[in-house]
Structure 1
Amino acid sequence: MSVAKFVAANGREALRQVREAMGPDAVVLSNRTVEGGVEIVAMRDTDLGAISSNAPVFTPPPATVAVDGALGDLRGELQNMRAMMERQFAGQAAAVGTHSLPATGGDPLRDSLFNWLVTAGFSGQLARTLLGHLPLGHDRPAAMTWIRQELARKVPVLGDEDALFAQGGVLALVGPTGVGKTTTTAKLAARFVLKHGPERLALLTTDTFRIGAHEQLRIYGDILGVPVHAVKDASDLRFALAALSEKHLVIIDTVGMSQRDRSLSEQIAMLGGVQAPVQRILLLNGASHGDTLNEVVHAYRHDTSPDGGIDGCIVSKLDEATHLGSVLDVVIRHRLPVYYASTGQRVPEHLELASGTALVERAFQTPRRGSVFAEAEAARRALPARGEGAAATGADGMLRSLTDSANAVSDCVDQLDGGNYGFDLVRTLWQQRADSAPSARLMAQHVRESVCRDLVRQCDRFVLALSAVVAAPAAGRRAARPWLHTLWLADRDGLPLAAAVAPGGRTAPVLQATQGGWETDAVNLAATIAATRTVVNVLDAMPAPAMLARWQTAGERWLTATRRTTRVVSGGAALKVDALADTLTFHAVEEMEYRGRAAAQWVAQAPVRVLESQARGARGAEGGIEAGLLVSRVVDLDNGQTLAVQYLLCDPALLGEGAQLARWARWAEDGEAQLRTLGHALDHLSQGERQDGAGDAAQAEGQACARLLALQMAIASLRLEQAGDTEAAAFLARLSARAPARQTPNAAVLVEGMGRLLALLDVLENYPARSGRAAVRDAAPAVSAAVSATVSTAASTAVSTVASATEADAFTDSSRMFKALAQVQGE
């Protein structure tokens, strides 16, 4: 048997010696760092085959082992039952002796399941939420099966690796130090090479700090036949990506950086400073504490730089994790897609495509011993009593209602924070507006910064602008005044990005920052958007030539629907657009669902000149406006019937965006309702009165702050309505006291519910026992503790806090507050 040891100055040289001595198919048995360099132990592949043929076949242990395992499980169940009974008696004794809240949940099954979840690493908050939705009539095995299924359903996963590799581009692995980014980079590269070959892949590393980091990745690259390059700053990265533009996929191994490192923003800005879009994949250490993981996700996802954010995650070190539930709790809380799971150091075997079911099963099957760090008992005591036998009466009932309602509010806020709704900005503006000296200028700056981040993340090349003039009352005027409402949407998916309202007229949407207030905010926001993406003004009628000239000077584009009888010139002849459509060639661009029927969309395009005179009988084909014509037909896939036809005119520069233009036109059909939401939010928050710089300086400043907050609440509500997040939306609808007529309430209802939610958060976050503004997820225990000390003091504090809430239509007395809390609890 030829087993040999090779020692060289570095890994590359040692591998070269192995290949020269034993051939390219030699098997590496081990490698380690020794004095003077690197040591590799290897053997010939032919000898490995001989060893494999003579190796004995593994024989499983006798069946009595299974019996012992069953007895062990039974012993464990009996110990759990004994501990549960002891806690029951201890809780009853404590309740009798001190007249405090019972220590247990009042339901042995729920108590046992709660401990089971918390011991696996899941937070008490998630455990309470699951048990609150547990169907009645389940025994312990059925309940455990239901909980596993619910958790697996809530874990977002990639699902299709081929789709990830097929889209190509640039993947950047980011995360703290020591989470396994370099090894995971090699694993991803190996999986790609196995499917697509090494010619279409390149590897980059920005880790110039850690000794041997570049060399380690280069060894993997040599084995795979993939080029590896090191970059040290943003200019190097841009140059390297430009040189590798012919590669289908480039994977970047970034330098490990603590979530508390102030240089984190510089690293994220480095990735955002390149021309090519970069998918950021965060590595989460499955063996880390839940609070640490939560802090890491917040640091990388909610970074203050415009280029921050992450697209997905990879869970590493599953083989080292003792409480895998913590990392699953974090990805559920933040709705962060899990791409892969790393289960060891071997490349590429120890990298699995993420599966929600497999991850949840692994979380509950991980063996555990007793731990001095276990927090199950403390978390268990926070479980509210919800059994049928625990009647809630008097002060105890009020306390339990307050605590449960705080939990419901916390769940709603977590969903709003975890989604791409912009609720974090709403809360920031709400708090700034409540300050003793609110600054509209500072709030407007925060809005523009948030819009810039959303533009970079959500838009490809364009941003859509929808406008409408709406008559609304204004202070100091007898007649209603026209107001120009503008809403900007992302070109990728129609996501509402920003909104502005300013006094307007028949000449709108021309805005000038000459009067201050409304106009200044609108103009500054529009200028910020135009500086980041090309604006496409989506209209319902052909714009005037003067307006087109202004847009052309500003570099903006336009798109409008038109009638079938519109007269245009094509090929030197004047004819109607429906007649011209019959001569064009149509191409299928996408399949879609149209009014419940499977359909396909076909489009045709042609350059035209729109005649200035559309009057019947007008002659001549001279003059006019150069434009592009797009004809869209929706055809039934089953019978070929034409279901809908739409005629669009656009800026000539957009003529090549056929499929995209048709999609934008569909989104614009909902624009009228979305624009009405802006007016509803303004009227709701300012009590139906709009002012244009009237009154003293303090009043004008307050009105400006209210306006900015109202518009951002409208944006967040529109996003929530578009996403169809039924749980958060239904909760907000109940807070607004307007039951939803459909599964997802409309944005106007959500605006009202969001205002009351913000007022309720002020109540939960400003009890005397709390210092400063704590996170809402911590509110329930603090409220419970404060109220337990003295019911009357807490109740009076709640009444006074609610009575001073800044939201105009919020709760104004204690009875309304407790009624709303009871409604949340009951529903």
Structure 2
Amino acid sequence: MSVAKFVAANGREAMRQVREAMGPDAVVLSNRTVEGGVEIVAMRDTDLGSVSATAQVYVPPAPVVEPAAIGDLRGELQSMRAMIERQLAGISPAAGAAHGVAASDPLRESLFEWLVGAGFSGQLARTLLARLPLGYDRPAAMTWIRTELASKVPVLGDEDSLFAQGGVLALIGPTGVGKTTTTAKLAARFVLRHGADKLALLTTDSFRIGAHEQLRIYGDILGVPVHAVKDAADLRFALAAMKDKHLVIIDTVGMSQRDRSLSEQIAMLAGVPAPVQRVLLLNGASHGDTLNEVVHAYRHDAAPESGGIDGCIISKLDEATHLGSVLDVVIRHRLPVFYASTGQRVPEHLELANSTALVERAFLTPRRGSVFADADAARRRQAATDDVVQSKGGADDVLRSLTDSADALGQCVAEINSAGLGFDLARSLWQQRGAGAPALRAMAQQVREAVCRDANRLCDQYVLALATMLQVNVPGRRAPQPMQHTLWLADRDGTPLAATVTATGRAGQPIGEADAEAANLRAAMSAARKVVNLLEAVPSAATLARWQQAGERWVANARKTARVISAGAAWKLDALADTLTFHAVDEATVGERDAVRWLASADVRVPESPVRGKGAPEGGIGACLVVARLVDRATGELLDTRYLLCDPVLAQDAAQVARWAPWTNTADARLRTLRHAADHFAQDAEAGHAAGAALAALQLGLSVLRLEHAPTATAPAFLARLAGRTARQGAPVAGTVLNEGMGRMLALLDVLENYPGRGAAAPAAGINPNADAMGVLQ
């Protein structure tokens, strides 16, 4: 058997030697980096047959439960990535020379762009990446970088230490950076802690129209005296007159870092007999070079003998697109950060600086892409474009995506599982969807047990049922068939608990297996909590009788013109409501307005037939009328009125009934999302396995509804990208889009967990054939 080892300066040269010695069809057995270059072990393809004849058949290991499987997958992809790096090491050696990040190290290359994209300088990025420990994958490297940056950002830590020493606090900085507003915010924070009698405010800003007036208004609100000074003598006189104050805050005139008068202002503060803390305001939305120049000017250039800065406040964080720039300057100059300003409101939009939070904000700030790209990054991209060999094709993109894809996918799966959305159960059902009838019954039992656990965990007294009829295309039938879709909600906050789809037919027809399972789930739900049916209209007497026999309750919306019987007379609901006494029960939000919910209730009868005139017919259905009014807290304006009829037993829970009612507003959208999930996930079911696919599809749809109800930090946007959609910042992602993204994630998990090299050593040569599937994650 001819097996040989080849060592060369790079992978391309080693492969050339292999082809010359063993022909173009040689089989590469190993590929690794050694001292002096790259080592490849290869054999002739003609000898492969003898090896194959004596090799043992591989038996795959038992499946691993997620998300541990994603961790294994990430490790395997990293091995593949390392192998491809070695192969491509010699293709473009000059691409990264100019910026100090190895072109053959895509991880550091992508981290460099990530840092520069957040606003950090190329110099700081290179310094960090040079110290990055070996063996880290991308998430671990990002965590390490965040921790390192946070440790380098000095912060105040304790507000009491700033206020306790008292004396004079001067806010300095360029024009328009927010000194006056910040002065008011600091004053408000001090007054809340120590009282207004221990504080005074001064302003040296005689240039800006209305500057003194603006600060005086704030002072009047806080009960703090405000004085304006013109020069150094005036300042010394004012401070002498305020020597009984514990703290004096000075709002200085804004000056450009290039203004020749800046040195005079610094000297004026230096000439004060009392100790002065100089706090520089830095605009978080400014370019890094501008900020660097500002710090130099105020600390050194203006008046070297009397300069100095004790700390800084970062302003305009709400306007910043590259917050890394100001953090870079803070780290570079070792400048303590006292506060961070996030808006104009006094004093709410001033936060005590937290280094970890600032670093996180720098990377989480949404950016739409910049036409003013960092020059260093632009040069790197141009060098990579010019130097790359055309035959390389898409290998570099695959190389970049390997670890990132597994990381993003693993993060999404872990985030969804930790949020308690039921995805782990849904995925298990999806994997078993082709099993036979006994396995299907076991799957249904799993669902019932999970539903009971969730009901006991998330419900106080009741479980709510929302139902509607939707037309469903059924194989073998020309016309769509009406199917009853039921969604079960927790009474505490409306979390979706379970979903069922049942056929509706004439009485006496044989019940299907799906209908039987739905009945079993309803029975299990009833055993865990009392069932309350939420309805858009009062149902028939027969339906109410059936529910009453089963121990279930009901709540129905009603129009204000509907008639009920009260005290022997027929009343329209709005007229009857005007005779009732209302009580404030809780607070609510209507749009963006704060409101108070007022409630009234009365025992009534709902007539079984329409009432004409004022006569009150005998009989009818006993009910409780609940009238809920939402009133604007500030203006007293009536924002909304809702009329509800419910089971008399629920009269004692009228306030809770009023909170449930708005959930019916989203019922149609939720149930249509559920219908879409049933169609989307079950469309690939093989013949004979429709029941298992339908059960799995409902559980996946339920996971999507839970994600809609309580969105996690990143999963909705990730699933939207998988579905080929762009999620707008802060906007909810539609349920149908989440269904499509979930379907692609399931397919991607199946592909990644079953690629040919899984469980074995990474292949020595070539690119994973599933790489294109992974590329969709980018």
TM-score (normalizing by structure 1): 0.50
Q: 1:598 to 1:717 in 2, by over 3 A?
A: same
> Which residue does 1:727 correspond to in 2?
714
Question: Which among 536, 548, 555 is matched to residue 559 of structure 1?
Answer: 555
2:765 to 769, 779, 790: 790
CA shift digits 1:671-721 (9 cap, x unpaired): 1111111211111123399xxxxxxxx834x10111011111111101111
Give the 3-state SS of the residue equivalent to 1:645 in structure 2: strand
Equivalent runs, 1:446-461 vs 2, <5 Å: 446-461=446-461
> CA 1:467–1:91 in structure 2 vs 1: closer, same or farther (change >3 Å)?
farther
Q: CA distance change for structure 1 residues 640 and 716 in 2, over 3 Å: closer, same or farther?
A: same
Q: Indicate which of 723, 742, 748 corresponds to 1:754.
A: 742
- In structure 1, what is the Cα distance between the partners aligned to 2:449 and 2:563? 44
Contact 1:472 1:480 in 2 (8 A): yes
Letter in 2 for 1:400: R
Distance 1:589 1:129, change over 3 A: farther
Counterpart of 1:16 in structure 2 is none
* Offset, 1:140: 7.6
Q: Which SS does the other structure have where 1:786 is aligned?
A: coil
Aligned equivalents of 2:437 and 2:607: distance in 1? 56
Q: Distance in 2 between matches of 1:93 and 1:586?
A: 87
Instruction: Report the equivalent of 2:700.
Output: 713
Residue of structure 2 in register with 1:430 after alignment: 430
Match for 1:824: what amino acid? L
What is aligned with 1:366? none
**Partner Cα separation in structure 2 for residue 683 and residue 390 of structure 1:** 46
TM superposition shift of 1:574: 2.4
Separation in 2 of the partners of 1:438 and 1:757?
28
CA distance in 2, matches of 1:123, 1:531: 51
1:659 aligns with 2:655: yes
| Residue equivalent to 2:594 | 598
Q: Is the counterpart of residue 703 in structure 1 residue 716 in structure 2?
A: no
Q: For 2:37 and 2:662, how far apart are their aligned partners in 1?
A: 63
1:262-309 Cα offsets, whole Å, 9 max, x none, are xxxxxxxxxxxxxxxxxxxxxxxxxxxxxxxxxxxxxxxxxxxxxxxx
Are the equivalent residues in 1 in contact too, given 2:416–2:712 (CA < 8 A)? no
The amino acid that maps onto 1:416 is: I
Q: Is the 1:114–1:128 contact (alpha carbons within 8 Å) kept by the matching residues of 2?
A: no
Distance 1:613 1:400, change over 3 A: same
Native 8 Å contact 2:150 2:356 kept in 1: no
Matches within 5 A, 1:766-805: 766-771=754-759, 786=762, 789-792=764-767, 794-795=768-769, 798=770
Q: Tell me the equivalent position of 1:375.
A: none
- 1:210-233 Cα shifts (integer Å, max 9, x gaps): xxxxxxxxxxxxxxxxxxxxxxxx
Contact 2:108–2:129 under 8 Å retained in 1? no
For the pair 1:824 / 2:756, whether they are aligned, the reply is no
| 1:460 Cα deviation after fit | 0.9
Task: Using the TM superposition, give the Cα deviation of residue 739 of structure 1 relative to its aligned residue in structure 2, in angstroms.
Answer: 3.0
Aligned to 1:401: 401
The 5 A counterparts of 1:419-818 are 419-433=419-433, 439-504=439-504, 514-617=510-613, 619-687=615-683, 699-700=687-688, 702-740=689-727, 743-771=731-759, 786=762, 789-792=764-767, 794-795=768-769, 798=770, 818=772
Output the CA distance in 2 between the equivalents of 1:357 and 1:455: 39
Report the AA paired with residue 411 of structure 1: Q
C-alpha separation between the residues in 1 aligned to 2:39 and 2:734? Answer: 49
Q: For 2:623 and 2:678, how far apart are their aligned partners in 1?
A: 37
1:673 maps to amino acid: A
Q: Which runs of 5+ in 2 are unaligned?
A: 1-32, 41-85, 90-103, 113-122, 158-351, 359-378
Q: Aligned to 1:574, what secondary structure does the other structure show? A: strand
Report the CA distance shift for 1:570/1:823 in structure 2 as closer, same or farther (over 3 A). same
Structure-2 separation of matches of 1:506 and 1:643: 44
Q: CA deviation at 1:515?
A: 2.5
Structure number with higher relative contact order (C-alpha < 8 Å, ≥ 6 residues apart): 2
> 1:105: which partner in 2?
108
Q: CA 1:821–1:568 in structure 2 vs 1: closer, same or farther (change >3 Å)?
A: same
Q: Secondary structure at the match of 1:588?
A: strand
Do residues 127 (structure 1) and 140 (structure 2) align?
Answer: yes
Question: Aligned letter for 1:497?
Answer: L
Corresponding residue for 2:210? none
Displacement of 1:144: 5.2
2:582–2:598 contact (8 Å) kept in structure 1:
yes
Q: Name the CA distance, whole Å, in 1 between partners of 2:413 and 2:445.
A: 24
Identify if the C-alpha distance between structure 1 residues 611 and 91 changes in structure 2 by more than 3 Å, giving closer, same or farther: farther
After superposition, residues 37-436 of structure 1 pair within 5 angstroms as 99=87, 102=104, 105-106=108-109, 107=112, 113=128, 124=137, 126-128=139-141, 145=153, 394=393, 395-433=395-433
Could you tell me which residue of structure 2 aligns to residue 71 of structure 1? Answer: none
| Deviation, structure 1 residue 125 | 5.6
Provide the rounded CA distance (Å) in 2 between the counterparts of 1:117 and 1:487: 50
Query: SS of the counterpart of 2:432?
Result: helix
Partner Cα distance (1:571, 1:663) in 2: 27
Matched residues, number? 452
What are the superposed Cα offsets for residues 148-172 of structure 1, whole Å, 9 maximum, x if unpaired?
Answer: 99xx9xxxxxxxxxxxxxxxxxxxx
- How far is 1:611 from its partner? 1.7
Cα RMSD for the two superposed structures: 3.9
What SS does structure 1 have at the residue aligned with 2:652? coil
**Structure 1 CA distance, aligned partners of 2:638 and 2:454?**
37
Aligned mates of 1:549, 1:437 — CA distance in 2 = 35
Deviation at 1:740, TM superposition (A): 3.7
Asked if structure 2 preserves the Cα contact closer than 8 Å seen for 1:513 and 1:520, the reply is: no
**1:78-128 deviation digits (Å, cap 9, x = unpaired):** xxxxxxxxxxxx999757995366467245966865797879xx9856434
1: CA distance between counterparts of 2:700 and 2:353?
A: 34
| Aligned equivalents of 1:450, 1:513: Cα separation in 2 | 30
Give 1:763's aligned amino acid. Answer: V
- Cα deviation per residue 1:746-784 (whole Å; 9 max; x = unaligned)? 11111111011011011221233333xxxxxxxxxx9xx
Q: Is the 8 A contact 2:563 2:572 kept in 1?
A: yes
- The normalised TM-score by structure 2 is 0.53
Query: How far apart in 2 are the matches of 1:744 and 1:821?
Result: 26
Shift of 1:441: 1.4
1 CA distance for matches of 2:405 and 2:476?
Answer: 43
State the AA in 1 paired with 2:739: V
The separation in 1 between residues aligned to 2:625 and 2:413, in whole angstroms, is: 46
Aligned to 1:443, the other structure's residue is in SS state helix
CA 1:96/1:583 → structure 2, altered by over 3 Å: closer, same or farther?
Answer: farther
Partner of 1:670: helix, strand, or coil?
helix
Q: Give the 3-state SS of the residue equivalent to 1:661 in structure 2.
A: helix
**Alpha-carbon shift at residue 586 of structure 1 (Å):** 1.1
Q: Deviation at 1:570? A: 2.1
